[in-house]
Amino acid sequence: MADLEAALLDYYDYITWWPASGDQTDTNTERIMPGTRLLYMYMDLSIAKWCVKEHCLVCNSNNLGAMVTSLPLYLTNVTSEEGCTKLYAFADGSRLINYLELAWDANFVAVLPSNYFVKIGELLVLIVDSSLLAFDVFTRQCQAYELDADYCKYYIVYARKCLFSAPDVG
Predicted confidence (pLDDT) per residue in 27-80, tens digit = 567 777 777 789 998 888 888 999 999 888 888 877 778 889 998 887 778 887
DSSP strand pairing (107-111 vs 158-161) = antiparallel
Which pairs from 2-5 meet CB under 8 Å and 24+ separation? 3/158, 3/160, 4/38, 4/110, 4/158, 4/160
pLDDT score at 17: 47
Condensed to tens digits (0 to 9), the pLDDT of residues 9-25 reads: 665 555 544 555 555 55
* Beta carbons of 97 and 48 less than 8 angstroms apart: no
Average pLDDT over residues 136-143: 83
- 123-to-52, 64, 138, 139, 150 alpha-carbon distances in Å: 25, 15, 11, 13, 23
Provide the pLDDT confidence category of residue 140 given band limits of 50, 70 and 90.
confident
pLDDT at 102 over 60: yes
Domain range summary for the chain, segments of one domain joined by +? 2-161
β-strand partners of 47? none
Question: What H or E segment, with its residue span, contains residue 56?
Answer: strand 56-58
User: Is pLDDT larger for residue 170 or for residue 68?
Assistant: 68
Judge whether 151 and 56 are in contact, CB under 8 Å.
yes
Q: What is the pLDDT of residue 169?
A: 44
pLDDT for 94? 63
Hey, which of 78-92, 98-112, 122-136 has the most confident mean pLDDT?
A: 122-136
Give the 3-state secondary structure of 81-136. HHHHHHHHHHCCCCCCCCHHHHCCCCEEEEECCECCCEEEEEEEEECCCCCEEEEE
The rounded percent of the chain whose pLDDT value lies above 70 is 67
